[in-house]
Amino acid sequence: MFSYTDPIGDDAVLSSLGSSGIGEPARDALRLSRQAEARALLMAHRIGEAAYDDMLVFLSPGRQMMVRKHAEKAAVGEISLQLGLSRTKAGTWYQLGIALQQFPKIRMAYLAGDLSTHRMSVLIHAAEAASDIAPGAPTEPEAPDVDSPDVDSPETDTPETDFEDIALDLAERPTTDTVLRDALEELVISLDPDDATEAREEFGRAWENVAISNDSSGHINIDACVPAEFGVYLRDRIAALIAARICRRDPRTLGQQRVVAMAALMGTPGADLVCQCGDENCHPNGERDTTQPPNGAPAVPLTQPDRQADERDRADTEPTSDTALTPAAPWTLVLDPAGTAVPRLHGYGAIDPAHAEHLHDRSIEILLRNNVERGPWGRLVVTDRAAAPPVDPTGHGGHALPPPGALTYTPSRRLRDEIQQSDLTCRYPWCSRPAHECDLDHLVKFDHADPLVGGWTLPENIAPLCRPDHQRKHLALWLPTMHLDRSITWTNPTTGRQLTTYPR
Ligand SMILES: [Zn+2]
Ligand SMILES: [Zn+2]
């Protein structure tokens, strides 16, 4: 279709194309660009490697650390000059090139054009974390464990090749890089929770920071790396304050609203989040706003939440519209009573068990209910999902008679929890919106006039979809089919192309 050498000709081809049927050639072009970038990156690594080796010969064999540091600088500098890349990008490519030598399956998928450079780097970082805990990797000498005399020859039941296979399987799914990273993190934590705790502490020592640096036009940039719970707390409080104070007619961008909300939360003089809609009677969120303390900080309960009561509450009542404003506890944890599944922090994702333990006293805890198949990788069991047939197309989940609640439009709290725990995110392809922020959509439409005839309120007929994707679903550009394993196949009725999303 394209010459790739004649821009004028290729431009003419582009303007002559219709809009239909170009998805496939566009995907081919994208794959080609990834294949080309993979080769460029690996060649950059070779350039760097050669410069590194030259430098080692040139430098006298003195202090090893210094010599290696200089050699690495020479490598990155040479890549930068030869390829016309910034030092930062040259450094990233050089390091990725080194890491790719260790992981042949990821390297091949990258060369085949299956992965963007960023997605490959997500896989590489997880594979490195997993291989750190794999037997044979250099570890700090530990005090001998009296219970296991053969510490020198640990069991080798988690070879890193398995990790690459599973990681590549996860990478094939139509998920964002963020969702992929979370799934891989869950995997790494499940392999060795103690090592994950150590890695988290090490990460904190290396990267935790608040950098406040001057931008232009009278602005300053704030760039921070903080523990997940701090970030979740701040994000929730900012969102709650905006919801309480600002109505839809406020002319500011959401970004501007967040800036004022954050400043108000910090008690910055003059920063007070007031709706600018111009309506004196603006009540964005009913009477709730009056419950807020005057300084703008959302109320935080002074007493410990009664977790037992809360659990009962969650199980028995319908969801309230907005619990974020007056949280019973700052955080919500999803825990597995059996201790197999990796704990999750709402608003972040998988966290190591020690991290969950640290947040335990100040969190609402949701216990995992559904007992899905669990393998050595925690909940992430890769099975032959192609074998799962579609569910009953009537939306009745194979039931002859409606189970309790099936004819009620709004799912019970129990059903909602169950679906949020199994699905984690919006089930539309390429969306990373957390399930607890999504609508619960009836895949086969609920019939308010005759609930018995329409789709029922059952796990087999309900999937979380974020608001924009919920609307997209109604445009019917991609049609969903739920399967018995809760995978959902989205079919484009024009091209027949299918994308499959999975519960966790
Ligand atoms: Zn307003
Ligand atoms: Zn979505």
| Ligand minimally distant from the alpha carbon of residue 467 | 2
pLDDT at 201 over 80: yes
**Same domain membership, residue 122 and residue 65:** yes
pLDDT at 157 over 60: no
Q: How far is the CA of 478 from the centre of ligand 2 (A)?
A: 13
Residue 219 lies in a domain: no
| Ligand minimally distant from the alpha carbon of residue 274 | 1
**Same domain membership, residue 176 and residue 61:** yes
| Ligand minimally distant from the alpha carbon of residue 427 | 2
Q: For the segment 348-387, what is each residue's pLDDT rounded down to a tens digit?
A: 999 999 999 999 999 988 887 655 444 444 444 445 555 6
Residue 15 lies in a domain: no
Least trusted range by pLDDT, from 193-197, 275-279, 293-297, 334-338? 293-297
Q: How far is the CA of 272 from the centre of ligand 2 (A)?
A: 32
Q: Which residues pair with 210 in a beta bridge?
A: 224
Percent of the chain with pLDDT over 70: 81
Domain end residue (candidates: 261, 291, 321): 291
Q: Which residue pairs, CB below 8 angstroms and at least 24 apart, start in 407-411? A: 407/451, 407/452, 407/456, 407/457, 408/451, 408/457, 409/446, 409/448, 409/451, 409/457, 410/318, 410/457, 411/440, 411/457, 411/462
pLDDT at 293 over 60: no
- What number is the average pLDDT over the span 69-82? 95
**Same domain membership, residue 324 and residue 250:** no
Q: How far is the CA of 177 from the centre of ligand 2 (A)?
A: 14
Q: How far is the CA of 437 from the centre of ligand 1 (A)?
A: 23
| Ligand minimally distant from the alpha carbon of residue 244 | 1
Residues 6+ positions from 323 with CB-CB distance below 8 Å: none
**Per-residue pLDDT at 313:** 38
| Ligand minimally distant from the alpha carbon of residue 282 | 1
Q: Would the CA dihedral through 59, 64, 69, 73 be positive or negative?
A: positive
Q: How far is the CA of 69 from the centre of ligand 2 (A)?
A: 45
Please give the residue that has the higher pLDDT: either 382 or 347: 347
| Ligand minimally distant from the alpha carbon of residue 285 | 1
Report d(CA 377, CA 375) in Å as an integer: 5
- What number is the average pLDDT over the span 249-274? 94
Q: How far is the CA of 248 from the centre of ligand 1 (A)?
A: 7
Least trusted range by pLDDT, from 80-84, 97-101, 360-364? 360-364
**Same domain membership, residue 44 and residue 163:** yes
Q: How far is the CA of 438 from the centre of ligand 2 (A)?
A: 8
| Ligand minimally distant from the alpha carbon of residue 283 | 1
- What number is the average pLDDT over the span 89-116? 97
Q: How far is the CA of 267 from the centre of ligand 1 (A)?
A: 22
Q: For the segment 480-495, what is each residue's pLDDT rounded down to a tens digit?
A: 999 888 889 999 998 9
**Same domain membership, residue 448 and residue 327:** no
pLDDT-derived band at 197 (thresholds 50, 70, 90) equals very high
Q: For the segment 167-178, what is each residue's pLDDT rounded down to a tens digit?
A: 999 999 999 999
| Ligand minimally distant from the alpha carbon of residue 280 | 1
Please give the residue that has the higher pLDDT: either 393 or 109: 109
Q: How far is the CA of 254 from the centre of ligand 1 (A)?
A: 14
**Same domain membership, residue 322 and residue 237:** no
- What number is the average pLDDT over the span 399-425? 89
**Per-residue pLDDT at 398:** 84
**Same domain membership, residue 319 and residue 267:** no
Residue 78 lies in a domain: yes
**Same domain membership, residue 421 and residue 338:** no
Report d(CA 456, CA 453) in Å as an integer: 8
- What number is the average pLDDT over the span 71-81? 96
pLDDT at 103 over 90: yes
Q: Would the CA dihedral through 118, 123, 126, 131 be positive or negative?
A: negative
**Per-residue pLDDT at 91:** 97
Residue 33 lies in a domain: yes
Using CA atoms of 167, 173, 178, 179 in order, give the dihedral in degrees to the nearest 10.
-90
| Ligand minimally distant from the alpha carbon of residue 247 | 1
**Per-residue pLDDT at 376:** 40
pLDDT at 305 over 80: no
pLDDT at 470 over 70: yes
Least trusted range by pLDDT, from 34-48, 214-228, 331-345? 331-345
pLDDT at 144 over 60: no
**Same domain membership, residue 422 and residue 353:** no
| Ligand minimally distant from the alpha carbon of residue 430 | 2
What is the residue range of 65's domain?
A: 27-135+159-200
Q: How far is the CA of 290 from the centre of ligand 1 (A)?
A: 15
**Per-residue pLDDT at 369:** 66
Q: How far is the CA of 285 from the centre of ligand 1 (A)?
A: 10
pLDDT-derived band at 231 (thresholds 50, 70, 90) equals very high
Q: How far is the CA of 291 from the centre of ligand 1 (A)?
A: 18
**Per-residue pLDDT at 63:** 67
pLDDT-derived band at 300 (thresholds 50, 70, 90) equals very low
**Same domain membership, residue 56 and residue 163:** yes
**Same domain membership, residue 189 and residue 86:** yes
Q: Are 456 and 470 in contact (CB under 8 A)?
A: no
Q: How far is the CA of 488 from the centre of ligand 2 (A)?
A: 14
Q: How far is the CA of 174 from the centre of ligand 2 (A)?
A: 12
Report d(CA 364, CA 367) in Å as an integer: 10
Q: Which two tokens stand for residue 406?
A: 């099936």
Q: For the segment 12-64, what is each residue's pLDDT rounded down to a tens digit?
A: 999 998 888 899 999 999 999 999 999 999 999 999 999 999 888 777 666 67
Residue 214 lies in a domain: no
| Ligand minimally distant from the alpha carbon of residue 279 | 1
pLDDT at 80 over 50: yes
* Backbone phi and psi for residue 84, each to the nearest 5 degrees, phi listed first: 70, 45
- What number is the average pLDDT over the span 138-149? 42
**Same domain membership, residue 404 and residue 449:** yes
Q: How far is the CA of 255 from the centre of ligand 2 (A)?
A: 20
Residue 153 lies in a domain: no
- Cα angle 219, 220, 221 (rounded to 5 degrees) comes to 130
Q: Are 502 and 422 in contact (CB under 8 A)?
A: no
Q: How far is the CA of 251 from the centre of ligand 1 (A)?
A: 9
Percent of the chain with pLDDT over 90: 59
Residue 424 lies in a domain: yes
| Ligand minimally distant from the alpha carbon of residue 179 | 2
pLDDT at 136 over 50: no
**Per-residue pLDDT at 61:** 65
DSSP label at 272? -
- What number is the average pLDDT over the span 438-461? 93
**Per-residue pLDDT at 385:** 54
Total structural domains within the chain: 4
Residue 302 lies in a domain: no
